[in-house]
Structure 1
Amino acid sequence: MTSDANGTKVEIPRIISVDDHVMEPADLFEGRLPRKFQETAPRVHRGKITKITRVSGQDWRVDFGEDGTLGDYWMYEGVPIPLKRINASAGLPLDLRENVPVTFGDVRPGCYDMTARLADMDMNHMEASLCFPTMPRFCGQTFAEGKDKELGLACIQAYNDWMFEEWCGPSGGRLIPLGLVPLWDAELAAAEVRRNAERGFTAVAFCEIPAFLGLPSIHSGHWEPFFRACHETKTVVCMHVGSSSKMPATSKDAPAAVGISLSFNNAMASLADYIFSGLLIRYPDLKLAYSESQIGWIPYALMRMDDVWNQHRAWIGLGDSIPEPPSTYYYRQVYGCFFRDDVGIRAIEQVGVDNATFEVDYPHTDSTWPDTKQLAEEHFAHLPQDVIYKIVRGNAIKMLRLDLDTDLDDSGRPLPILGR
């Protein structure tokens, strides 16, 4: 506990992280696929890896050799997908968070084991967590890029079943299910959203900018079945940075630091896409979450979009399609997600005290585990307690429709008990 500028004690309620990651266990697909896929099912192998090279976004090339480091890797349709320390580095010194191969035995069990994850959450003042995939990539690009789409669909359904039955089911509600969909077919994607919603999923992983994956844009009308299903089931569309498999870069030979520093650009472009597409108007119950995008960019993006709407609508063809300023729809239907963002916190009123959610990013290189509570105390020391509550857990409860804090009001204060 720390004190704000007035000496008032700041309390950090138990954290609900809207962006963590799970490293899928090696037996995930065993017994979960039809018999005809027995030979082609994704499997974990172990080999000596000499080099892992980032091609673009979350696409990597793997080189093998006798002088390499022993590492585990998934094999899917002949493509190796290695376990990397950068995806399982929570708690390691910063200088050891390298892009090198690892085995399951090299990493914290909390990366892939549900019971160990809950213990790591307890160490970090966390109550609940929403986890993005690793082997399938942030929104299932691995299966979308595969040739056998029937196998891909079976793998997605198997992943969702595992997520619900084994990762989240025994956790007592502390691990929140996040579904995948077949990106290559909007009707199948809608069906999977509905299948998952019926059993309690409230969120689905999707791509920030589908066109970057070679898919139809959200302006094309192609995705209407998917968005309609999310709207009708109140399933939140969660878009992680990197879900476009393409990071912003200034040139092909720009260092990785350039793309990582600019990663929020995809989220900003995506937000403009959604707002000016009219989707948020057609589907007023559709909610979007920009995972790991940070929030400091949001006030400028909203100001610029509102200015464009006001100054240029006569010639850019908006007509009556966007009847209110773009920021209206952001504040109504969009959530930003962050782990460290002093700029965003200083502008929290413009970001929206009801639109900001908090994350831990366990077990990735950006993770604040196991010091997230201390960081939050320092980060939020100047904020009112009711705003802290909203950022740390209240907005996540609202966004994901969690059955938590039902005896508290929107400021995190106990509701009055009738008759007392």
Structure 2
Amino acid sequence: MQYNVISADNHILEPRDLFTTRLPKEYRDRAPRVMRGEDGGDGWSWDGKTVDRTLGIEATAGRAVKISGYTWDEILPGNYDGAAHLADMQQEGVDAAVLFPSVPLMAWSMHDDPYALALMQTFNDWVFDDFCAADPKRLIALPMMPVHHGMDVLLAELDRVLKKGARAVHIPVFPDKPYIDTYWDPFWAAVADAGVPLCIHRTSGGIDTSTKANFQFKVPGVNVAGTVIRFFSGVEPLTLMIFTGVFTRHPKLKIMDAEVNFGWIPYWKQQMDQSFEQQKGWAKFPFETKPSETLGKNVFVSVLDDKIGFDLVKLDPQMADVALFSIDYPHSVCLWPNTAKYIEESTAGVDPVAKQKILSGNAVKLFNLD
């Protein structure tokens, strides 16, 4: 099919009864479930008694932006229903969407708990068998990889979701074992051989021990400061993978960091290449080419209405090879509705070839769409 606009970063809010009805029976008493919160909204409970925060900024598309307080009936069905999600995308001229999970992300903070594995596999089955069944060519699932359950379990789940038609896989930003460890090489090799990209999302997944994470919803201003900071969160994990030779050992491996924009990339490229040239006499780098050569070959990012980034494409054509457009539906910064207006304003003056790459071409190649 023809893809003119692809969102490389959309989100799912899983159905309210998914885990209570589809988890293995031995875990259903622990299953996350939707309950009424103290503010009158609905939220997810992990103990069957309390709701930490009700629905809000994570499901605000088409509604007034607020931190919390929505009931389940107030949010759009496109949050949890594949056909409705497609209808919302079609309304704004978006031909396909890459889908990040929401509720089961907590599983990556449970380390190697068998319950965590059950949560991930329940999501993985549902997202392929139900949500994306509405149109697998337009809804691209991101199955969660059980990175904390041993290499054998990890590779088995990779093989299982590939058989279900996975075009990419989702890993946490904060694994228990850093991705610079060669422990991961069998997984990197298997993913590269399968021709599917890894996907991470800002600072999502695993345990973030930073101060801002602990105070995100407790100190006014920290939450929005975190929104700004997370646009620069790709620098650390991507630089570490590049400089420790992950892509030298696995030249076909690809990774996309979602919702980080790309106005920062020209300086990042300059600093990586400059540091490489200045320090290569002693640093024993496990690669010989400029670090920036991995961009658009191994390393990609998703971008919203980053006007500075789009303007810089005119000066640095490589940026058009790195970026994949996204609308971040249904979150509070989403470019939905009025997606066409955001695209027109952001890409004004951008070379048509570069524009096409960012809006759809790079996604078609990265996710093997046809």
With normalisation by structure 2, the TM-score equals: 0.90
CA RMSD of aligned residues (A): 2.5
2:62 aligned partner: 91
- 2:37 is aligned with what amino acid? K
Alignment of 1:37-56 (within 5 A): 37-40=27-30, 42-49=31-38
1:365 maps to which of 325, 329, 332: 332
> Using a 3 Å threshold, how does the CA distance of structure 1 residues 166 and 13 change in structure 2: closer, same or farther?
closer
Is 1:21 equivalent to 2:8 in the alignment?
no
1:109 aligned partner: 77
Deviation by residue 1:49-84 (Cα, 9 ceiling, x = unmatched): 2xxxxxxxxxxxxxxxxxx32423242698756442
Is 1:345 equivalent to 2:310 in the alignment?
yes
Once residues 126 and 46 of structure 1 are traced to their aligned partners in structure 2, the CA distance between those partners, rounded to angstroms, is 33
Once residues 273 and 257 of structure 2 are traced to their aligned partners in structure 1, the CA distance between those partners, rounded to angstroms, is 20
List runs of 5+ in structure 2 lacking aligned partners. Answer: none
Percent identical among aligned pairs is 29
Indicate the larger mover: 191-200 or 303-312: 191-200
1:255 maps to which of 217, 222, 232: 222
- 2:27 is aligned with what amino acid? F
- 1:24 is aligned with what amino acid? E
> Using a 3 Å threshold, how does the CA distance of structure 1 residues 327 and 109 change in structure 2: closer, same or farther?
same
Q: Is the strand fraction higher in 1 or 2?
A: 1
1:324 aligned partner: 289
- 2:201 is aligned with what amino acid? H
Once residues 302 and 80 of structure 1 are traced to their aligned partners in structure 2, the CA distance between those partners, rounded to angstroms, is 43
- CA displacement at 1:310 relative to structure 2: 0.4
Alignment of 1:226-305 (within 5 A): 226-243=187-204, 246=208, 255-305=222-272
1:35 aligned partner: 25
Q: Is the helix fraction higher in 1 or 2?
A: 2
- CA displacement at 1:398 relative to structure 2: 0.4
> Which of these two proteins has the greater Rg computed from alpha carbons?
1
- CA displacement at 1:292 relative to structure 2: 0.2
List runs of 5+ in structure 1 lacking aligned partners. Answer: 1-11, 50-67, 404-420
- For the residue of structure 1 that corresponds to 2:99, the secondary structure is strand
Q: Is the 8 A contact 1:357 1:391 kept in 2?
A: yes
Deviation by residue 1:15-36 (Cα, 9 ceiling, x = unmatched): 1100000110012235533333
- For the residue of structure 1 that corresponds to 2:96, the secondary structure is strand
- 1:308 is aligned with what amino acid? S
Once residues 362 and 308 of structure 2 are traced to their aligned partners in structure 1, the CA distance between those partners, rounded to angstroms, is 19
- CA displacement at 1:289 relative to structure 2: 0.4
- CA displacement at 1:285 relative to structure 2: 1.1
Q: Is the 8 A contact 2:3 2:96 kept in 1?
A: no
- For the residue of structure 1 that corresponds to 2:296, the secondary structure is helix
- 2:367 is aligned with what amino acid? L
1:60 aligned partner: none
1:160 aligned partner: 124
- For the residue of structure 2 that corresponds to 1:401, the secondary structure is coil
Once residues 147 and 392 of structure 1 are traced to their aligned partners in structure 2, the CA distance between those partners, rounded to angstroms, is 37
2:139 maps to which of 153, 175, 190: 175
- CA displacement at 1:165 relative to structure 2: 0.5
Equivalences, count: 360
Q: Is the 8 A contact 1:209 1:270 kept in 2?
A: no
2:362 aligned partner: 395
Once residues 243 and 139 of structure 2 are traced to their aligned partners in structure 1, the CA distance between those partners, rounded to angstroms, is 34
